[in-house]
Amino acid sequence: MEKIILTGDRPTGKLHVGHYVGSLRRRVELQNSGEYDKIFIMIADAQALTDNADNPEKIRQNIIEVALDYLSCGLDPAKSNLFIQSQIPELCELSFYYMNLVTVSRLQRNPTVKSEIQMRNFEASIPVGFFTYPISQAADITAFKATTVPVGEDQLPMIEQTREIVRKFNTVYGEALVEPDVLLPENKACMRLPGTDGKAKMSKSLGNCIYLSDTPEDVRKKIMSMFTDPNHLKVSDPGQVEGNPVFIYLDAFCKDEHFERYCPDYSCLQEMKDHYSRGGLGDVKVKKFLNNVLQEELEPIRKRRKEFEKDIPEVYNILKKGSEAAREIATKTLADVKEKMRINYFDDAELIAKQAEMYK
Amino acid type, 286? V
> What value, to the nearest 5°, has the Cα angle with vertex 50 and ends 44 and 56?
80
Tell me the number of residues near ligand TRP by CB under 6 A: 13
> Shortest Cβ distance from residue 8 to ligand TRP (Å)?
4
The nearer residue to ligand TRP, 62 or 228, going by C-beta atoms, is 62
The nearer residue to ligand TRP, 27 or 273, going by C-beta atoms, is 27
Beta-bridge mates of residue 4: 38
6 binds ligand TRP (CB under 6 A): yes
Residue nearest to ligand TRP (CB): 44
7 binds ligand TRP (CB under 6 A): yes
The nearer residue to ligand TRP, 10 or 38, going by C-beta atoms, is 10
183 binds ligand TRP (CB under 6 A): no
Nearest 5°: phi and psi at 242? -65, 135
The nearer residue to ligand TRP, 7 or 244, going by C-beta atoms, is 7
How many residues would you count in the chain? 360
214 binds ligand TRP (CB under 6 A): no
9 binds ligand TRP (CB under 6 A): yes
Q: Out of 4, 28, 43, 47, which residue is the one contacting ligand TRP (CB under 6 A)?
A: 47
> What value, to the nearest 5°, has the Cα angle with vertex 224 and ends 238 and 187?
70
Alpha helices in 50-110 (DSSP H): 56-73, 90-98, 104-109
140 binds ligand TRP (CB under 6 A): yes
Q: Which burial class, exposed, middle or buried, applies to 244 when counting CB atoms under 10 A from its CB (0-12, 13-18, 19+)?
A: buried
Give the binding range for ligand TRP (CB under 6 A) out of 134-142, 191-199, 207-215, 252-260. Answer: 134-142
- For residues 151 and 112, the answer to whether their CB atoms sit within 8 Å is no
Q: Residues 29, 32, 36, 41: is their CA dihedral positive or negative? A: positive
Q: Out of 5, 10, 95, 184, which residue is the one contacting ligand TRP (CB under 6 A)?
A: 10
Q: How far is 356 from 345, CA to CA, in rounded Å? A: 14
141 binds ligand TRP (CB under 6 A): yes
110 binds ligand TRP (CB under 6 A): no
**x/- contact string, 149-168, with ligand TRP (CB under 6 A)?**
x-x---x-------------
185 closest CA partner among 11, 6, 25 = 25
- For residues 5 and 148, the answer to whether their CB atoms sit within 8 Å is yes
> Shortest Cβ distance from residue 44 to ligand TRP (Å)?
4
> Shortest Cβ distance from residue 194 to ligand TRP (Å)?
18
Residues in contact with 43: Cβ distance below 8 Å, sequence separation at least 6, in sequence order: 8, 9, 11, 63, 66, 67, 82, 83, 84, 85, 319
> Shortest Cβ distance from residue 102 to ligand TRP (Å)?
16
Considering only residues 17-46, where is the footprint of ligand TRP by CB under 6 A? Answer: 44
83 closest CA partner among 328, 303, 356, 347 = 328
8 binds ligand TRP (CB under 6 A): yes
- For residues 101 and 348, the answer to whether their CB atoms sit within 8 Å is no
142 binds ligand TRP (CB under 6 A): no
Binding site for ligand TRP (CB under 6 A): 6-10, 44, 47, 137, 140-141, 149, 151, 155
